[in-house]
Amino acid sequence: MSGNNDASSGPFGDLHPYRDEFKVYTQIPEHGVEPAEILAFLERTAAAEDSKWESGKVSGTIYHGGHEHYAFLNRAFALYAHANLLQRDMCPSGTKFEGEVIAMTAKMLHGDAVKEVNPKDEVCGAITSGGSESIFNAMLVYREWAQRERGIEHPEIVAPSTIHTAFQKSAHYLGLKLVRTPVTADFVADVDAMAAAITPNTIALAGSAGNYAYGTIDPIARLSDLALARNLGLHVDGCLGGFLLPWVERLGYDVPIFDFRQPGVTSISCDTHKYGYALKGTSVILLRNEHLRHFQYFTAPDWAGGLYASPTFQGSRSGGLAAATWAAMVAMGEDGYLAAARAIMNTADRIRAGIASIPEIRIAGKTTFLIGMMSDEVDIFHVNDYLIGRGWRMNGLQLPPGIHFCITLPQTQPGVAERFVEDLRTAVAYARDPQQEYPQSGAVYGLSATLDGQAMLSDIMLAYLDATYGVE
């Protein structure tokens, strides 16, 4: 959902642009369509939609952008597209793929450091369908741990207000209470406020590296100390930055330590389908030891269909995605990840330097690869309107209003950074005297920059979700 839709084609933009190009199916066709005709349609639509991001004007979303890279991953996927990771007797290669993906990710995030605290610990985890499921599994672990070992029946998670909405969703599904606390003026967790929010029902803390809205990294070191002092779990949401920040640190940038080098960190979510450059949707959930991972597992020894056990929320899991994720990481190698991080940070640095020459725009907090932008002098969404007209697709923020530019490999193309800064400068001039009183664009995770009208906006968002399931 975005404030970047073309309002002229409907309240949510045109969600059915291909209705006149290919038959709309509301039932299975009586006679199957020729595969060549189907593929021709898919190739045309894919090419049209790829053109939206190939220029480098889209924030986030597409993290690698290399069609040869995607073709390679698709070949790996195709070899195992029919395989189910749940059936290891049929697909023993799944043990290699998943085990090595977890091991490589854990090594990248300094999983070896856990043995310095407890020699019996060893970081473990699982491949999931994306960041939301990784976070869900972590929250499930803490709920089950607290209920079984501490007798807490009404568990609470304390996290900063910038924590990803997947925590809200997980709390909703799992019957947890998510206590969100204010952040500092630099848009990072206020650890004192989090400490004050802890109650006897608190089971875990959470922080981000970096958070979705601003890309800022919470003070995980202080949260680690707090978690240890209060005997709580600590989840680090590295879904966005987990596969990039380790390489950024190795390039010499000042990156706060957020991983298993902090003794209080008990789990980390890390998306392979973002800066791991794997296919959508894959992520990794890492846990500090197998004891914690056991709370994630589901077993049913008394089912009529036989003994049943699954490691994550999913039942069947794609062998193709596991193979392609493994292939992406092995093909990239450390040198590939470092080169990508260097190109991304060089681009981000140039954009930051350009923004510094535009006094009406201020950057939110200490940024690395993601640049949050706000303004005290013009309506930032009028700025965004102009950028949309120039083909840019930023992510809208709210509370307070802003936009962000998440830098990925497509933005590292020559001239993209300079073109953005120039268009941003012109957009600010436009926002001083916009063509209409109210901007058309708004925030991604809501359509308002204030709390007013949130109930009405929830209804609008429900209508939008319904619209995405329509056929014509």
pLDDT digits (tens, 9 = 90+) for 241-257: 999 999 999 999 999 99
Pairing label, strands 233-237, 202-208: parallel
The β-bridge partners of 217 are: 209
**pLDDT tens-place string over residues 344-397:** 999 999 999 999 999 999 999 999 999 999 999 999 999 999 999 999 999 999
Q: For the domain with range 333-458, which CATH number is right: 3.40.50.170, 3.90.1150.10, 3.30.420.40, 3.40.30.10?
A: 3.90.1150.10
More confident residue, 224 or 14: 224
Would you place residue 159 in the very low, low, confident or very high pLDDT band (cuts 50, 70, 90)? very high
Buried b (16+ CB within 10 A) or exposed e, 71-98: eebeebbeebeebbbbeeeebebbeebb
- pLDDT value of residue 470: 66
Closest CA to 179 of 161, 162, 165: 161
Give the containing element (helix H, strand E) for 344.
helix 319-355
Indicate the domain borders of the chain. 93-329, 333-458
**pLDDT tens-place string over residues 100-127:** 999 999 999 999 999 999 999 999 999 9
The β-bridge partners of 324 are: none
Residue corresponding to tokens 């639509």:
45
**pLDDT tens-place string over residues 297-320:** 998 899 999 888 889 988 889 999
**pLDDT tens-place string over residues 182-232:** 999 999 999 999 999 999 999 999 999 999 999 999 999 999 999 999 999
Residue pair 126/169 in contact by the 8 Å Cβ criterion? no
Three-class secondary structure of residue 443 per DSSP? coil
What angle do helix axes 131-150 and 165-174 make, rounded to 10 degrees?
50
- pLDDT value of residue 456: 56
Three-class secondary structure of residue 374 per DSSP? strand
Closest CA to 260 of 230, 294, 213, 292: 292
Three-class secondary structure of residue 217 per DSSP? strand
Class of domain 93-329: alpha beta
**Encoded amino acid at 345, one letter:** M
Q: Is 160 left (phi over 0), alpha (psi -120 to 50) or beta?
A: beta
